[in-house]
Chains A and B, each alone.
Chain A
Amino acid sequence: MSQLKWQFTTLVEAKWETPTVKTLVLDAPAWTGHKAGQHVDIRLTAEDGYQAQRSYSIASAPDDKNLSLTVERIEDGEVSPYLTDVLQTGERLELRGPIGGYFVWNSDQKKNNSQPLLLIAGGSGFVPLMAMIRHRANVGDNTPTRVLYSARSDEEIINREELEELASKDSALEIIYTLTRKQPKHWKGYHRRIDRQMIGEVAWTMKDNPLAFICGPTALVESAANLLQEIEYKSENIKTERFGPTGG
């Protein structure tokens, strides 16, 4: 592996996904490619030399044209409000990556269909899973995939349009939401935290030889992983990535 180097990228486009979540499209001339699920480290340097560093998942698929990140603004946060509200197009952003080899998914056409995917996300934990979904769609992989996405309200669902568009064209991709705090009128979906019953209804069973990716706030990740273990998933079938307290 070549040593991870800090590199400068330029913000070429920014787009609000929800009232608090923004996608940053970057021009990254030194980028060498990545796998779906990997992240970058972002480093901000103040004029006095003070630096702050945070990790952000790569939202774009390996096969997409540009590198993009999707960042949720955490009130009073040191780094995320800078990325969502201060950084302007044309300005530089320093990062290093791609990072990580465990929480990654590669479409393997030879093994296509052998391991159905269960993608469980809370809040901004959906970002690396969206990279996997985009990658899967880009290469025409038809691995049966179920997404269980927990958000506080329907306005907080990231990439909703794109996701539903993909699912409408692909019967092997199913999206299940649970809205934990606020539901639109006539909402028929789940409206509670992920629990045993929900997992029982949504998850593939062990005889399907599934592969689960769980990402989001630490508490959600750990509880979902425990629930999968209760239905006999082995640790080889479960990959987790904790974002800390963020992301609802």
Chain B
Amino acid sequence: MNDNDLRLDGNAVGGLLGEIFQFEMTTAQTTCAGCGAIKTVAELMLYRHGMGAILRCAFCDQALMRITCIRGCYRLDLSGMSGLQVDADVH
């Protein structure tokens, strides 16, 4: 098994994002600040770690979203994306 076999994708953080956001976030469109790729959250590469998860661009590996939850406090670092479009109609 190599490291890539362990990665998942944004589908797997639907539940976690559902703890934080009111809308369905796996279909939200992200724009990568590194390469400009426009992808839904579900299509990002997911790497989990002890305290949270990192979602990366499938093309340039830029970290688009870092999510941690420590002692009941969510912290999101979205500095790797230049846009996030959330559809209020998708439930």
Interface residues of A (CB under 8 A from B): 1, 3-4, 39, 41, 55, 96-97, 99-103, 217-219, 222, 235, 240-245
CB of A55 to closest CB in B, whole Å: 6
Kindly state whether residue B40 has any CB partner on chain A within 8 Å. Answer: yes
Please give the distance in Å from B13's CB to the nearest CB on chain A: 9
Shortest CB–CB separation between residue A94 and chain B, in angstroms?
Answer: 13
User: With a CB–CB cut-off of 8 A, which chain A residues contact B9?
Assistant: 240-242
B43 and A244 within 8 A (CB)? no
B75 at the interface (CB under 8 A from A): no
Whether B11 pairs with A244 at a CB distance below 8 angstroms is: no
Chain B interface size, as a band, is 20 to 34
- Of residues 8 through 39 on chain B, the ones whose CB sits less than 8 Å from some CB of chain A are 8-12, 14-15, 18-19, 22-24, 26-27
Do A245 and B15 touch across chains, with their CB atoms under 8 A apart?
Answer: no
- The smallest C-beta distance from B76 to any residue of chain A, in angstroms, reads 17
The one of A4, A101, A217 that contacts B27, using a Cβ cutoff of 8 Å = A101
B contact residues around A101 at 8 Å (CB): 14, 24, 26-27, 42, 90-91
Tell me which residues across on chain A come within 8 A of B70, comparing CB atoms: none
The 5 closest A-B pairs by CB, nearest first: A102-B42, A4-B18, A99-B14, A41-B15, A101-B27
**Chain A: minimal CB distance from B54 (Å):** 15
A100 / chain B contacts, CB cutoff of 8 Å: 11, 14, 26, 42
Q: What is the CB-to-nearest-CB distance from B83 to chain A, in angstroms, rounded to a whole number?
A: 18
Task: List 21 A-B residue pairs with CB atoms under 8 Å apart, sorted by A's residue number.
Answer: A1-B23, A3-B18, A3-B22, A39-B11, A55-B15, A99-B14, A101-B14, A102-B26, A102-B42, A102-B43, A218-B4, A218-B5, A240-B9, A240-B43, A241-B9, A241-B42, A242-B9, A242-B12, A243-B8, A244-B8, A245-B1
Q: How far is the CB of A105 from chain B (nearest CB, A)?
A: 14
Which residues from B are CB-within-8-Å of A1?
Answer: 18, 22-24, 91
User: Which residue of chain B has its CB nearest to the CB of A57?
Assistant: B11
Q: A1-B23, A4-B18, A99-B15 are in contact. Are A242 and B8 (CB under 8 A)?
A: yes
- Residue pair B15, A97 in contact (C-beta under 8 Å): yes
B7 to chain A, nearest CB (A): 6
Q: Report the nearest A residue to B1, measured CB to CB.
A: A245
Q: Closest B-chain residue to A246, C-beta based?
A: B5
**Is there contact, CB below 8 Å, between B12 and A55?**
yes
Q: Which chain B residues border A97 with CB–CB below 8 Å?
A: 15
B1–A103 contact, CB under 8 A?
no
Asked if B6 is at the interface (CB within 8 A of a chain A CB), the reply is yes
Chain B neighbourhood of A219, CB < 8 A = 4-5
Known contacts A1-B24, A4-B15; is-contact A103 B42 (Cβ 8 Å): yes
Apart from A4-B19, A102-B26, A102-B40, what are 11 other A-B pairs with CB-CB below 8 Å?
A1-B22, A97-B15, A99-B18, A99-B26, A100-B26, A101-B90, A102-B11, A102-B41, A102-B42, A218-B7, A242-B11
Collect the chain A residues with CB atoms within 8 Å of residue B15's CB. 4, 41, 55, 96-97, 99
In the assembled complex, the CB of B66 is this many whole angstroms from the nearest CB of chain A, namely 19
Contact A218 B23 (CB under 8 A): no
Residue of B nearest to A222 (CB): B4
